[in-house]
Amino acid sequence: MDLTEIKEFLDEKADQYNTADFINDDPISIPHRYSLKEDIEISGFLAATIAWGNRKSIVKNGHRMMDLMDNSPYDFVMSHSDYELKRFKNFVHRTFNHIDLGYFIKALKHIYKNKGGMENIFKAHSSGDSIQPAIHQFKMLFFELPHPSRTLKHVSDPLSGSAAKRLNMYLRWLVRKDKRGVDFGIWKSINSSQLSCPLDIHSGNTARKLGLLSRIQNDARAVKELDTKLRLLDAKDPVRYDFALFGLGVFEKF
């Protein structure tokens, strides 16, 4: 297929998968429990953090985290005591455990109390055409407090070569806005054109089969290559094609 044919194909598939039916079985269902901006931000960030492995397990554990936070994540983050963090002692999702979650709660409080909140950090440190530098800066600020060394691996950094799939997915949720009801679009200070596609094994393999990606590794360089191609298809909203690439890979085994 030439680029025009690829665009027509992916436009159709993005339209097919970018629907409210997509929500319930996806980690994005966790922040969809809430209407308060800060609740959406925090629940979305925690859900995205554990978004690897079996999707049913991800969704189940995402809802469990919210239940453990009394279904008020922002209030819990801002007012928790050390004693209340003990309620997470039996929580684990793959390699993310109660130690990591406890630090995340403390770091999020630091972000909201001392750094102006999540959106403020990403707005301040994004470049004109990319949000990737802001992901790096976010990680630096997130780990300003004394932290367990084991927890560092749970926040990716594109400047260290990572594709930062989960953070790019989270940023899609918060920044993109259309009339489909999936993504929230509550961060008005960042443009969809600055976003990068969440690159994982499914979207990466689909992109390679379509000739949109030549790099073998799913890393930061591959994200940049895919960004360039997707911006040719839609410069204003390139990551809407995440629905197409992911849907083709996961549901159609493309």
Domain extent listing, the chain: 3-250
Distance CA 232, CA 213 (A): 13
Residues in CB range of 194: below 8 A, 6 or more apart: 126, 127, 128, 129, 130, 131, 175
- Band (pLDDT 50/70/90 cuts) for residue 126 is very high
Q: Who wins on pLDDT, 128 or 195? A: 195
Mean pLDDT of the chain: 97
Q: By the 8 A CB rule, do 169 and 26 touch?
A: no
- Band (pLDDT 50/70/90 cuts) for residue 60 is very high
Distance CA 229, CA 205 (A): 15
pLDDT value for 51: 97
pLDDT in tens, 226-244: 999 999 999 999 999 999 9
Nearest CA-CA partner of 75 in 49, 38, 129: 38
pLDDT value for 160: 97
pLDDT value for 52: 93
Percent of the chain with pLDDT over 90: 98
pLDDT value for 254: 87
pLDDT in tens, 88-121: 999 999 999 999 999 999 999 999 999 999 999 9
pLDDT value for 191: 97
pLDDT in tens, 30-56: 999 999 999 999 999 999 999 999 999
Residues in CB range of 82: below 8 A, 6 or more apart: none
pLDDT value for 81: 96
pLDDT in tens, 159-195: 999 999 999 999 999 999 999 999 999 999 999 999 9
Distance CA 156, CA 74 (A): 23
To the question of pTM greater than 0.75 for the whole model, the response is yes
Nearest CA-CA partner of 228 in 217, 243, 238, 216: 238
- Band (pLDDT 50/70/90 cuts) for residue 253 is confident
pLDDT value for 124: 97
